[in-house]
Copies of this chain bind each other. A is one copy, B any other.
Amino acid sequence: MSKEKLYVVKIGGNVIDNEAALDAFLDDFSKIKEKKILVHGGGKIATEISKGLGIEAQMIDGRRVTDAETLKIVTMVYGGLINKNIVCKLQSKNTNALGLTGADANMMLAKKRPVKNGIDYGFVGDVEQVESNNLSAFINLGLTPVFAPLTHDGEGNMLNTNADTVASAIAVSLASHFEVNLVYSFELKGVLSDFENKDSVIPEMTPPEYKKLKDEGVISKGMIPKLDNCFEAINGGVSSVLICQATDLLAIVNGVKMGTMLMG
């Protein structure tokens, strides 16, 4: 029996930070007829609220360190404000959304990242296990899970987790239940061969091609962790991974070829 199609769509902070863009995106997302999951990132709201409360963001090598105060802020903002805002907007668009963090129904158990080379990222979690049976049960009840980028350690602590890796871990965990199509939507039209030319989208990429482009320095540094996540998802049984512009999502779901398709 062929498996049912499921979309796992990740949206980044740039969409979340712009009310009109978020509304347009949720309109498109709600029109996807197949089963679907949304994973959202954080955006700038957490930083603004931290500033408002006089909490200074700690950075190491350009990465935010999640100290105890910052963990409270991201739990509030990602798990509360952004997640519930998206959920209630989707409800108004005929999509029966269910907001989740990794703690809810034990969805994502994670391990606090160990201190390495003297760098302590704080309350940051690396996903160890996704509770895919209950997640499938939610989907089969007709619900659309909406994930905030938060996990838990099983010992009573929330952990901050990268939204790209959350999307990838969820997609892989459901690969035995569904034909999973993972879509990373962001501000560009796809992976570019020339960063100065926003139309220079690489339409397809295999692992050897990815390695070649990395070696040649064509792929920019910021894209490497995202692409590594994508190829990990393919190795984990996800049917397809696409990187595209948020505004192109619905056209792509309806069969138009856009963005960068990653292949095994």
Interface residues of A (CB under 8 A from B): 49, 52-54, 72, 75-81, 83-85, 87-89, 91-92, 96-99, 101, 103-106, 134, 137, 141, 143, 150, 152, 154-158
B88 touches A103 (CB 8 A): yes
B80 touches A78 (CB 8 A): yes
Q: Which residues of B contact A106 (CB under 8 A)?
A: 91, 96
Q: Are B75 and A84 in contact (CB under 8 A)?
A: yes
Looking at the assembled complex, report how far the CB atom of A52 sits from the nearest CB atom of chain B, in whole angstroms: 5
- The distance in angstroms between the C-alpha atoms of A134 and B88, with both chains bound, is 17
> Which secondary structure dominates where chain A touches chain B?
helix
CA of A251 to CA of B96 in the docked complex: distance in angstroms?
39
Given A75-B85, A91-B152, A158-B88, are A101 and B104 also a contact pair (CB < 8 Å)? no
Query: Across the interface, which residues of B come within 8 angstroms of A80, CB to CB?
Result: 75-81, 83-84
Alpha-carbon gap, A99 to B98, bound state (A): 10
Q: A81-B72, A141-B134 are in contact. Are A103 and B99 (CB under 8 A)?
A: yes
**A-B contacts, 28 listed (Cβ < 8 Å):** A49-B76, A52-B53, A52-B54, A53-B53, A75-B80, A75-B81, A75-B84, A75-B85, A76-B77, A79-B83, A80-B83, A80-B84, A84-B101, A84-B103, A84-B158, A85-B158, A87-B101, A87-B104, A88-B103, A89-B156, A91-B106, A91-B152, A91-B154, A92-B154, A96-B105, A97-B103, A98-B105, A99-B103
